[in-house]
Amino acid sequence: MKITRDQLMALLFLAPSFLLLIIFVYGFIGWTGWVSLSNWNTLVPDMSFAGLKNYIYLFGDYRFQADLRNTVFFTILFIGFVIILGLGLAILLDQTKKANALFRNIFLFPMALSFVVTGVVWQWLLNPSTGFNQFLQVFGIQPKWYTDTNILAGFQWESIEFGLPVAMIAVVIAAVWQMTGFSLAMYVAGLTGIPEELREAARIDGASELQIYRKVILPMLTPITMSVVIIMAHISLKIFDLIYAMTGSGANFVTDVPGVYMFETTFRGNYYANGAAIAIIMLLLVAVFIVPYLINSRRGAS
């Protein structure tokens, strides 16, 4: 096969970026994997082979078990509320025509903020001795928010109590506040893309407004929901800054997550091999969602 000059130029144009990513993404992941199998749990690098020692240590570790529990509940609640709230608001905005742009801008602006800013502010809003509790005390409720160490519906699992850590709810509120704009924007774009004729046709067939949403519109939004779930899942599995800024690990690690543990054990404790093992586990968790999604969406595109 003969390659023209222009085709060669195209390859040369792309090559620097591609090579950078091969090294800095794939090469570095490989190197992290190698570190995770080493004895480098000291300040001075020690790359002698340790086998799966670091992984075995982590899965028996109280803190890491708590992190896995917290991640499971955080991910489920976070994705659930972002989708319900985003879809609900998009449908409401679809039905009310006045001041739509204003409402949309209000729901979307937290997306422009840093998780650090969000953490700093919500840390005060959900502080048990002030913030929202000043309104709630009128009703006689005083939640302890992120300082609560209770585990709801907990049962003993390995060394931890498995169940919903109440303190995580505070973090979920802050994260949902920040990210709902994303799902809202996606659903608004999806709803705009549904032709009016389709709804008209359903109306002529005698469908009520509720039925039109249930039978016609929601099924058409399924691909968008899939995208939102994937994107929110990868954000929630690697979350670090929000929790680091808002609550830290919490008493009994009730708000700890792998991202925070990795950071502290690696860069504050010099347990590089343990940190690398946490990072590889985080990568595998994200890959479970992302790889099928990428393969699927690429296949659909070509």
Partner 1 sequence: MMVVRRIIKYAVLIAIAIFFLTPIYVMLITSFKPLEEVSLSEMWALPSTIDFSSYTHAFSELAPNLMNSIYLVIPATLLSAILGAMNGYVLSKWKFKGSEIVFTMILFGMFIPYQSILIPLIQFLNSINLYNSIIGLIFTHVVYGLPITTLMFRNFYANIPDSMIEAAKVDGASFFGIFRQVILPLSITGFVVVAIWQFTNIWNEFLFAVTITNNDAQPVMVALQNLSGSQIVQWNVQMAGALLAAMPTLLVYILLGKYFVRGLLAGSVKG
Q: Which of residues 207-236 bind partner 1 (CB under 8 A)?
A: 227, 231, 234
278 counts as binding partner 1 under rule CB under 8 A: yes
- Binding to partner 1 (CB under 8 A) within 18-37 occurs at 18, 20-22, 24-29, 31-32, 35
What is the distance between the alpha carbons of residues 261 and 263, in angstroms, rounded to a whole number?
5
Minimum CB–partner distance for residue 265 and partner 1 (Å): 11
What is the distance between the alpha carbons of residues 5 and 230, in angstroms, rounded to a whole number?
40
Give the CA radius of gyration of the chain. 24
When binding is defined by CB under 8 A, the residue of 53, 76, 80, 125 that contacts partner 1 is 125
When binding is defined by CB under 8 A, the residue of 2, 44, 49, 129 that contacts partner 1 is 129
Minimum CB–partner distance for residue 243 and partner 1 (Å): 11
- Between the two ends of the chain, the Cα-to-Cα distance in Å is 23
Cβ(181)–Cβ(108) under 8 Å?
yes
- Binding to partner 1 (CB under 8 A) within 231-270 occurs at 231, 234, 237-238, 240-241, 244-245, 258-259, 262-263, 266-267
When binding is defined by CB under 8 A, the residue of 51, 108, 264, 270 that contacts partner 1 is 108
Q: What is the DSSP string of 122-153?
A: HHHHT-TTSTTHHHHGGGT----GGG---EEE
Give burial (CB, 10 Å; 0-12/13-18/19+) of 143: middle
What is the distance between the alpha carbons of residues 10 and 258, in angstroms, rounded to a whole number?
41
Q: Which is nearer to partner 1, 147 or 151 (CB)?
A: 147
Minimum CB–partner distance for residue 226 and partner 1 (Å): 10
- Binding to partner 1 (CB under 8 A) within 157-196 occurs at 177, 182, 185-186, 189
Minimum CB–partner distance for residue 222 and partner 1 (Å): 14
Cα atoms in the 13 Å half-sphere on the side-chain side of 166: 13
Cβ(39)–Cβ(21) under 8 Å?
no
> What does the per-residue mask of binding to partner 1 show for 83-102, with x meaning CB under 8 A?
--x---x--xx-xx-x----
